[in-house]
Amino acid sequence: MPATTNRPLRLFIDIGLWLLTVAITLLGLAALTFFIGRILPIDPVLSIVGEKALPEVYQRVYLELGLDKPLWQQFIDYVIKLLRGDFGTSFSTSRPVLTDLLNFFPATLELSTIGLLIGVALGVPMGVASAYWHEKWPDHLIRIIGLVGYSVPVFWLGLVGLFVFYYLLDWVAGPGQLDVFYVGVVDRVTGMILIDSALAGEWDIFWNAVSHMILPALLLGYYSLAYISRMTRSVMLDQLSREYVLTARLKGASEFRVVMGHALRNAAIPLVTVIALSYGGLLEGSVLIETIFSWPGIGNYIYSSLFAADMNAVLGGTLLVGIVFVLLNMLSDVLYRVLDPRSRELAK
């Protein structure tokens, strides 16, 4: 068959096109961030030298940042450096931006992943239950839980959480990633404390990290749960009203099999996108959660860099978030093919 002989070529073109799309997306993102950064009313030179510095000091830093060149030239210089893998140096940390990202991102990755697992583990069953008992009390209850998650300010909930579970009940550890006692004990391998401490066999530290992480992770989980359960509910409602569900029931399939085996299986495809988007949102880092819990994540890094007009850091952070979204998109594409036989057929 000709389709078979052409397959390698086809795959090659597919990957090529995909890479091109990714490259254009990231370039567009970099351009947008770059030019928005330049029209912000913050003078990067002043935020380095302070408003009392001598004019010659101002001039030196101005030249050092390359601000004397035309804007397009600055952008091209940046992109060329980027292609060499050089994200530039952040003046607010004096470290290469890449080093910073590798420092801050794992903390966010770890927290978000656990948050997402909680959100999915609770949100999907809740959404299914909500759809199954449509307009009955479990539905109302679950929707109220979701509504609270949507509408209560995370800042408030975080502080109340700390007050109750940390201050009053002493169930969890306080702000920060570890007790001071343990800071710097374990070698940094992945940057994710749970993994690093487990690798080192330091179980005291592992459990201490869990204790620090559980509250912010639950909060993140709660917020993604609110979204995931709502989306699961609506997708499931749609599926449960389909004719194949009726057919299955007429054939005498058990309710469990109808809901979990048939309806949820079909609902899973759009849910993959929902979950991937939630994950992407979490991986951008939550500035408020990070502030309350003194969590050294990527959200605060980008946020504080933006206010310091530290554009290399902001650009690096934005590109990282962009790459995360591209990867998640790719992942959900792959999952689509696994979950939906039709998309595999189409691909042929």
Binding another protein by CB under 8 A: which of 31, 159, 330, 338?
A: 159
Closest CA to 323 of 106, 50, 23: 23
180 binding another protein? (CB under 8 A): yes
| Residue 208 sits in the site that holds another protein (CB under 8 A) | yes
Provide the 3-class DSSP secondary structure of residue 217. Answer: helix
Contact 177, 193 (CB under 8 A): yes
Of 92-100, 240-248, 324-332, 339-347: span binding another protein (CB under 8 A) = 92-100
Q: Which residue in 239, 266, 300, 312 binds another protein (CB under 8 A)?
A: 300
CB of 141 closer than 8 Å to CB of 300: no
Taking the C-alpha atoms of residue 323 and residue 315, their distance in angstroms, rounded to an integer, is: 12
Which residue, 144 or 160, is less far from another protein as judged by CB?
160
Residue 223 CA to residue 295 CA, distance in Å, equals 17
Candidates 211, 217, 228; CA nearest to 115 is: 217
Short-list 264, 257, 227, 258, CA closest to 244: 258
Residue 142 found at the interface with another protein (CB under 8 A): no
184 binds another protein (CB under 8 A): yes
294 binds another protein (CB under 8 A): yes
For CA atoms 44, 48, 53, 58, the dihedral sign is negative
**Position among 183, 189, 246, 334 found at the interface with another protein (CB under 8 A):** 183
> Is 36 a binder of another protein (CB under 8 A)?
no
Among the listed residues 200, 322, 2, the one whose alpha carbon sits nearest the alpha carbon of residue 192: 200
Please pick, from the candidates 172, 274, 314, 326, the single residue that binds another protein as defined by CB under 8 A: 172
Binding flag, residue 312, another protein (CB under 8 A): no
Contact window for another protein (CB under 8 A) among 78-86, 225-233, 277-285, 294-302: 294-302
The Cβ-side half-sphere exposure at 74, using a 13 Å CA radius, reads 18
Q: Is 54 in the site for another protein (CB under 8 A)?
A: yes
Could you say whether residue 84 binds another protein (CB under 8 A)? no
d(CA 175, CA 187): 21
Interacting residue with another protein among 16, 28, 176, 261 (CB under 8 A): 176
Distances (CA, A) of 219 to 118, 158, 165, 227: 9, 7, 12, 13
Using only C-alpha atoms, the chain has a radius of gyration, in whole angstroms, of 24
Residue 125 near another protein by CB under 8 A: yes
> Residue 63, interface with another protein (CB under 8 A)?
yes
Tell me the C-alpha distance between 206 and 220, whole Å.
Answer: 20
Nearest-approach distance from CB 145 to another protein, in angstroms = 14
Least distance to another protein from the beta carbon of 84, Å? 16
Least distance to another protein, CB of residue 21, Å: 34
- From the list 34-42, 141-149, 248-256, 276-284, the region that binds another protein by CB under 8 A is 34-42
* Binding-site string for another protein from residue 214 to residue 233, where x marks contact by CB under 8 A and - marks none: x-------------------
The reply on whether position 74 binds another protein by CB under 8 A is no
CA 287 → CA 85, 175, 209, 295, distances in Å?
27, 14, 20, 9
CB of 269 to another protein, least distance (A): 23
Q: What are phi and psi of 204, to 5 degrees?
A: -60, -45
Binding positions for another protein, rule: CB under 8 A: 40-43, 46, 48-54, 56-57, 60-61, 63-64, 91-95, 100, 103-104, 121-122, 125, 129, 159, 162-163, 166-167, 170-176, 179-181, 183-184, 204, 207-208, 210-211, 214, 291-294, 296, 300-301, 304, 308
